[in-house]
Structure 1
Amino acid sequence: MSGRQQPTQAPPHVDKDTQGRFGNGVQWGRSLRTRIALWAGLVNVVLLLLLALTAAWFGRRAIEEDARHDTRASTQEAASRLDDAMRVVTITTQGVSNLVASSNLDAEELTITLRAMVKATPGCAGGLLILEPRQRDDAMFARYVAANGRDRDLAADGYAFRNQGWYQRTVAAPAGWWSEPYLNETAGGVWMVTYNMPLRDPGRGAVTRGMVSLDLPLSNLTEMVESMANMPGWRVSLVAPAGTLAMNPEVEVEQLETLDDYIRRVGRHDFAPAAEAVRSRQRVQFVHTDLKSAEKRYTVVEPVGDSGWMLLVAQSYGLIVARLNHALYLLIAVGALLALICMLVVRKLARRISRPMERLSDSAAHLAQGHYETPVPHTGGSDEVGQMARTLEHARVSIRQQLHEIEEMGAARQKIESELSIARDIQLAMLPPGCVIDRQGIHLEAQAQLEPAKAVGGDFYSFLETGDGRLWFVIGDVSDKGVPAALFMARTMTVLEVAARATQSLELVLAEASRRLVEGNDTCMFATVLCGTIDTQSGDCIMASAGHDAPLLLLPDGSTEWVPVEPGPPLGFEISLDFPLWRGTLPDGATLVAYTDGVTEAFNQDNEAYGVERLRAALQPQYSAREQCQRLIAQVHAFTNPAPQSDDITVLAIQLRRVAAVPATSPYDISPQELAHADAIDDPA
């Protein structure tokens, strides 16, 4: 059989001693015997590991629990120290706020009070007091007192503090709040944090008169946890109320990066529980693996009182269990060595068992390469290998037989496709080309386009010029598709054309076709037909329908209307003589458009039909009859793409235009098209 390799002799079995491989080229590391040895060794290793892990589990559990307790206690102690230091600031600020709000101090007394507040607060770098005037004539007090003596009168300097976000937030806040770390250039480029408190008169609903705040160097806070951060395996982070990392071993405070931004930037999604605890101001402890260093850690998140600050402390598990792991690694190494020795011994024993399987695998590989003439060995065995060999041999014989059948089917299919292609060409050749009639001031263009869904289809159309100056046209759709529809279509076209040549009456044409198509129609196929005649001189039109959709009339102004052709019964079911006629006249510049249901019932991939509304919108008066057909079918395909065409598509268009008569200037007849061409040449524009 062509396209298959057929070896003349069975391929030799390859021995492992000649090429270092087993069976059909399987390397020794992947062979069955090696895998048996590996599994045997693995069982020994697992037993040793279980023994070692069981012994180490109790010790590791105790060590881990002690380490967690130590981390929690150290974190809570550090958070308590921070809270005490920050509480001193909040209490002092609250005292000054109450004093100023409940008394009527002058500017000098306010300055003295503010300076005393700064000196009384340990580590305070400065304080700010802003007091709005109670009355219009009162003076504004806005003064900053620094511990280093660099005081500043904000009111005298004209500093627009009311426009600053920190002032607006403070006077609107119900209580005091801690700021994020910021660089204080006035204090000599020192990173600061500030506690801000609104200043209000006593009583409920009192008006806010200003604010008071104290500056605290950030180093005063970080120094309290610096010793813990320098311990081996410990990592300490201090997070400001808005999430800024005020202290972190990887992020400098100058970066002003929040904890959430840090997690997104370095991909530390293992730290997400800590970020959630910071946002909710909740205490939490959890074990996680650092996605950046792949190190396992135990992290504790502790709120610093009610200040909004959060302390994060993480301890490495590597240092916690380093000594215990050393002993475990030694035990595992010894066990691995013993397992290796066991695997080598088992591999020798597995060689005898695996050799039949290796040869069977070699035969299967040759079958995969197309060598179906080589018999499968070991088919006489009574064990699992023999059963598998017999199954492969049965598959080999079946594949050979099926390949032969596929080759015969392919040849038959190729012959059918060739015949269908010829049938398609013959069917399309039966359809007439469009026609253009120019006669006594009348320009009539009749065009049609058909696209079958398969190689051949059941749609059809035709044009005939009769001897009395009329154009006879027909469009139809057979109820089926494929070869049966194409044969019925050819018969229907022949019957209609013969009847049309024999009589001018559309009723008689359809009646004769109805009678002839019923004869011998055992398959009960039928066809819907729309036929008509147009007087090429006057434009008078007569149409009759045998179950076909009514055509559309496209007027010169772009509007469309249905032609009310009353349908009769389809052709092929039963003999009928009742086919009502529609009579009318095509307006000047109008286009009559008929179609099959393959247009309106074309479905896209969302199972949505093209429909009559899209059909009407696709028709434009400025295009010729040929262009109307081409554009409509193109838009149908664009709508359904990428869904396949489900039915034959046929469009027929007839356009009528009246051309004004122009006197001829020569003894020869000049058509309107030639006259227009001549005018265009003579016109300099």
Structure 2
Amino acid sequence: MRNAAPSSVVPDREVAGAAHWRSSLRTRIALWAGLVNVVLLVLLVLATAWFAHRMILDDARRDTHATAQEAAQRLDAALHVVTITTHGISDLVGSAQLSPDELVTTLRAMVKATPGCAGGLLILEPRSRGDAPFAYYVAANGNDRDFIADSYPFRDQGWYQRTVASPGGWWSEPYLNQTAGAVWTVTYNMPLREPGRGARTRGMVSLDLPLANLTDPVDSLAHLPGWRVSLVAPGGTLAMNPEVGVDRLERLEDYIARAGRSDLRQAAEAVRLREPLQFVHVDATSDERRYTVVEPIGDSGWSLLVAQSYDLITDRLAQALWLLAAIGALLALVCMLVVRKLAHHISQPVEGLSAAAARLAQGDYAMPVPHVHRRDEVGQMARTLEHARGSIRQQLREIEDMTAARQKLESELSIAREIQQAMLPPGRVIDREHAHLEAYARLEPAKAVGGDFYCFIQTDPDCLWFAIGDVSDKGVPAALFMARTVTVLEVAASTHPSPERVLTEASRRLVQGNDACMFATVLCGRVDVRSGACVLASAGHDAPLLLHADGSHEELPVQPGPPLGFEVGDAFPLWSGQLPAGATLLAWTDGITEAFDAGNVAFGTERIPDALQPGATAREQCERLITRVHAFTDPAPQSDDITVLAIRRRLDSTATPPEAPPPQEAAHADATLHSP
């Protein structure tokens, strides 16, 4: 080769006149290598700083939020025990005729049974003029008090007047309870009413809880470096704060105004509205940057504020980055010295190969590689590079052919997906005078095409057929079998009056020519638009769910028959019933129940009712369930086709008497839904 001879031999005069080490190629290579290392080090430190800063702050936010939620749940549990006990006393006393001694015994038992309770108060006004009032306080420390015997004017107290006028229970602000032994206390007060609607208020019942029972569970959190914890009572009083003691009885808004903490106004508004909040702010007095979480404590009216300082986090991050930069600089210096040594041995013969490699990297595969006739390692590298050049040229030609074939396949699959989606009917809304029926379904295939399907068929204006199914395979074979199944079901529904007969006919037809032994599970049904009469039959498919207008739900007892496609079957038990007004019938494929998260945990049927919303449209129910499934499985990929079908009768639907069902349908009716 003409371009190989000049670079294959180095004349002696060039060796004798070698450049000084300071201007030699190996020195420049070493310097450039050092510069590249420094640049890479700087970029690495900057990238690490950006990523670590973001990751650490995100972790700090999640940690703060999770810690606040956990603490709020513990406090809610402590408060909930008191409210449950108070409700129990109210129900017991309001429905029973107890003597004063029995009332005291009952109240004392409730106080002892409530963890941490400091005491309880029960006030009963007389039912008639001959009855005596009852007002007794039972203390956990034994200092009981009879308000009637002490002539204590409890009726003049604001807490009593508020309680008897309140529709439900309420928590007091913190106060110093002298009766319980000069202990800071909060009290849950509840009016006591007789059973029945519109009953008069006879008095009240209350339980005292030491404030320490609420502050102790979060006290350890408040002492962590950089953390601040505040507990706000329902009326806005700071029951716990690192700067304000409870003895000051200062409200959160008053503290913000007095201390100049304008950065906490968002938190005060969230506390007032009983809403959760997460925000980053700068302390108006210390200029310290903090991340604060406001977490309501259940329905009690209490709120928890947890804040973490960003400054401590960023200080630790800066120390780690300085250490990383120092180690990186040392490694860059060592690398530069090593490269200088190696450059002397490899720079000269490798320059030709570098140029050839550069041409290959730029896509120039026409020019041969130099130095292929050398017998040393450079020659071996050259021959290897030349062989690689020929292989790359061959592979590029093969890649072009494969790319063209793949593009053609993807185009065909895209067309197949569009055809499959076009086969699926859109949602429907059928209005017949005072009867309104919504039908909607949604399919999300796991691949370009899938094996799930659904269909809506109207054989007459007042009758809607529907079906949902799942083919045993995925991809193109499943899509073809799915198309055949849908066609068979539509033809059968137009000629047979009963879902049982439809599945029997479909079973007979799908067995014919099914050499691949594919099968499909199908849930087929028919609903009368005017009356809401519904009949269902299942070919190996999961039973559907009925969601009532009041939020209750039940799984319909549809007995499954054999899947379609294996062999001819006629044992498809028929279920018949009524679709009440406001109810939604929901069916799905196993892509819902067998959707697995990253930990290989299935979504299951038990999570389906939690994703539904009473009163939502059929479309909203389908979309809510699919959204909940995707949120559950994220980041795991979708492993199976997902299909959901919903049939809903609106609340303003009025049932009209249905026509008599066919004899076959009446013979197999085995269940009845709730009346509309």
Tell me which interval the TM-score lies in, with the shorter structure as reference length. 0.3 to 0.5
Q: Give the TM-score taking structure 2 as reference length.
A: 0.46
Q: Determine which structure has more spread, i.e. the larger CA radius of gyration.
A: 1
